[in-house]
Amino acid sequence: MTHSNENGKGQGQDFATWLIHFGKEIDAATGASSVPIYQASTFHHFDLDRPPAHDYSRSGNPTREALEQYIAVLEGGTNGFAFASGMAAISTAFLLLSAGDHVIVTEDVYGGTYRLLTTVLNRLQIDSTFVDMTDFDQIVAAKRPNTKAVFVETPSNPTLKITDIGRVASWAKENGLLTMLDNTFMTPYHQRPIELGIDLVIHSATKFLGGHSDVLAGLIVTADEALGRRVKQLQNGLGTVLSTQESWLLIRGMKTLQVRMAESERGAARLAAWLQAHPAVSRVYYPGLEDHPGREIHERQSRGYGAVVSFDTGSGERARRLLGRVKIPLVAVSLGAVESILSYPAMMSHAAMPPEVRLERGITDGLVRYSVGLEDVQDLIDDLAQALAE
């Protein structure tokens, strides 16, 4: 994949090179090999008639700005923004909307996004309709006179349903709707939604971008400067910014994104194939499997399948037994780290969802989600084999 982005240097470089040489990787003042941590809340005005480039860290901090430029380069957008968490980024993005507006949202969107829309934004008269975006007609049918935006998550969580990004983006453009996409599961290594026509890309950088389960952060990238100015105003006005230390830590983690993603994906593909052949597993969800319903669309818009595999053990009892027996993965919410993470949607991320809605979406009591880390894959398979044994 080649990139042409004016933010950095060396047009046409490969993604792996962008990851290391994003433009601000060397400190201009000293030549230091990593971005300095500017641990300062405010900045001296040397000359009152010429305000400094930075005057207060909520409005702009050089360490955070290095990170913001970094993600903008990786996503091929104009402006990047860093937030205190993925939810802080998502909350900020939704506040581009106003009272009386309506947004169409992926039905099995991240649980926190669902909660924000149905318990907070609804009180501000920002209405939402959740649709199965694998069915394009449902998106079109959900449009109302006051619809202003479409919020997409693909692959979705935990059953990895695929939305056709380009088709949704061009329909939205024809209808004057803003498009926002949560790219957490794929990262810009695999999927670059701005190139497919999306206006605003969001990340929970807590997951693959950070990659080490040690930082909570969110990112936004806009496709154009005008939208960038609106997000900047919200980020500064709401104060949802990422701290300086966390900004540095995230830059540190992101440099190895490609090697981590590529290796975890190799593991995920092997694990998915092994699970599919296992008699105790009734169903495996992974976009790279031949029988995955969205595989063809996914292959057109992404360059890989990611590192998350969900599978159904058949019953709640068997899922709980598995979770109690595994010895290698962390049993936890979250994903996208160097260590494998096994989570149990029915009792963790989707516990608040009414059981009948959960079942309708394939989130059965037997479903578990495996985020493959960097351990030896054969060890992960052997561990699962003993945990799944009768």
From the CB of 182, what's the least distance to ligand PLP, in Å?
Answer: 5
- Compute how many residues bind ligand PLP; rule: CB under 6 A: 14
Write down the H helix ranges in the chain.
15-20, 62-75, 86-94, 111-115, 136-142, 165-174, 187-190, 225-238, 244-254, 257-276, 295-301, 316-325, 355-360, 377-388
- Which residue, 138, 142, 139, is CA-closest to 171? 139
Catalytic residue list contains 255: no
302 sits near ligand PLP (criterion: CB under 6 A): no
191 sits near ligand PLP (criterion: CB under 6 A): no
Catalytic residue list contains 207: yes
From the CB of 31, what's the least distance to ligand PLP, in Å?
Answer: 33
Cis-peptide, bond into residue 193, ω within 30° of zero? no
Which residues lie below 8 Å from residue 307, measured CB to CB, with a gap of 6+? 208, 261, 264, 265, 267, 268, 335, 336, 371, 372, 373
CA–CA dist 244, 64 (Å, integer) = 6
- Of 218, 228, 253, 329, the residue at the interface with ligand PLP (CB under 6 A) is 218
Binding part of the chain for ligand PLP, among 16-24, 81-89, 164-172, 307-315 by CB under 6 A, reads: 81-89
204 sits near ligand PLP (criterion: CB under 6 A): yes
Residue number, 23 or 112, with CB nearest to ligand PLP: 112
Residue number, 86 or 294, with CB nearest to ligand PLP: 86
CB 209 within 8 A of CB 83: no
From the CB of 309, what's the least distance to ligand PLP, in Å?
Answer: 15
Residue number, 101 or 153, with CB nearest to ligand PLP: 153
CA–CA dist 158, 155 (Å, integer) = 9
CA–CA dist 67, 218 (Å, integer) = 11
Residue number, 5 or 183, with CB nearest to ligand PLP: 183
SS3 152: strand
Binding part of the chain for ligand PLP, among 27-35, 203-211, 225-233, 322-330 by CB under 6 A, reads: 203-211
Catalytic residue list contains 312: no
- Of 216, 241, 307, 387, the residue at the interface with ligand PLP (CB under 6 A) is 216
Write out the binding residues for ligand PLP, residues 303-362 only, by CB under 6 A.
none
DSSP state of 86: H
What distance lies between CA 306 and its chain's CA centroid?
12
SS3 18: helix
CB 181 within 8 A of CB 188: no
- Of 101, 107, 108, 182, the residue at the interface with ligand PLP (CB under 6 A) is 182
SS3 340: coil
Residue with smallest beta-carbon separation from ligand PLP? 86
Q: Out of 148, 207, 361, 369, which one is annotated catalytic?
A: 207
CB 217 within 8 A of CB 82: yes
- Of 23, 36, 112, 316, the residue at the interface with ligand PLP (CB under 6 A) is 112
CA–CA dist 80, 66 (Å, integer) = 9
CA–CA dist 347, 344 (Å, integer) = 6
From the CB of 385, what's the least distance to ligand PLP, in Å?
Answer: 28
- Which residue, 276, 290, 302, is CA-closest to 192? 302
Cis-peptide, bond into residue 145, ω within 30° of zero? no
From the CB of 129, what's the least distance to ligand PLP, in Å?
Answer: 19
From the CB of 333, what's the least distance to ligand PLP, in Å?
Answer: 8
200 sits near ligand PLP (criterion: CB under 6 A): no
Query: Residue 128 burial by CB count (10 A; 0-12/13-18/19+): exposed, middle or buried?
Result: buried
Binding mask 131-160 for ligand PLP (x = CB under 6 A): ----------------------x---x---
Catalytic residue list contains 182: yes
Q: Out of 70, 110, 285, 344, which one is annotated catalytic?
A: 110
From the CB of 278, what's the least distance to ligand PLP, in Å?
Answer: 26
**What residues make contact with ligand PLP under the rule CB under 6 A?**
85-87, 110, 112, 153, 157, 182, 184, 204, 206-207, 216, 218
Active site residues: 58, 110, 182, 207
